[in-house]
Amino acid sequence: MLSGWIISSCKKTDEGSYTNVFLAGGREWQLASQQVSLFHGDTLKRTDTLNRTCTQNQVFDFNNDGTCSYTNYSCITQTAQGTWQMTTQDSLLLRSNILVKDTSATGSSRPFAHAQIVNLGQNSLVLQAIITDTLRKTPVVVLRRRITRYAFIH
C-alpha cells in the first residue's frame, strides 16, 4: 500500500486539463486590465496601468486547432492572427507567435511569445511577460526588467 501511495504522489498533472480550462466558456478572453512594472535590479521604479481610457474591447480568442486571434491590441483597431500552445515544463507557459501592431518604436511586437500563466480559472486568466536587458555594467551589472501583466475575463 505504501508503494502505491508513493507512485501516485509522483504523478504529473495532465496538460490537457489546463487546456480544457483555457478553452472552456467560449474561448474568448476579454482584457480587463494591463499593468506594466519597471524594475532596475530589485528596485521597483514605476508601475503603470495601460489602456485606461480605451473604449474598444480587446479580445484574445483561442481555438481548438491551435490558432488564435487578438482584436484591438493596444487600443488599435486590428485583428491579428497566429498560433498558440501551452507548455508545462518549468511552469505553465503560453507561447504564441501572434504579431500585433502597438505603440512601440518598432510599431509591432509579439507580446505573448513567452508568457507565464500566473492564474487560470473558469472566469479569469492572468498572463505575465518579462523583458530583461542590461541597464548598466559598471561598477556592477544592473538588470532592467519590464513586467507586463495582462488580466483577462470571460
Residue 81 lies in a domain: yes
Residue 112 lies in a domain: yes
User: Is 33 a residue whose pLDDT tops 90?
Assistant: yes
Angle at 133 between CA 130 and CA 139, to 5 degrees: 135
User: Is 5 a residue whose pLDDT tops 90?
Assistant: no
**Count of domains observed in the chain:** 1
Domain that holds residue 142: 27-153
Q: Give tens-digit pLDDT for 125-150.
A: 999 999 998 877 778 888 999 999 99
Whole-angstrom Cα distance, residue 42 to residue 140?
13
Residue 116 lies in a domain: yes
Q: Give tens-digit pLDDT for 63-103.
A: 888 899 999 999 999 999 999 998 887 788 999 999 999 98
pLDDT band per the 50, 70, 90 thresholds, residue 25: low
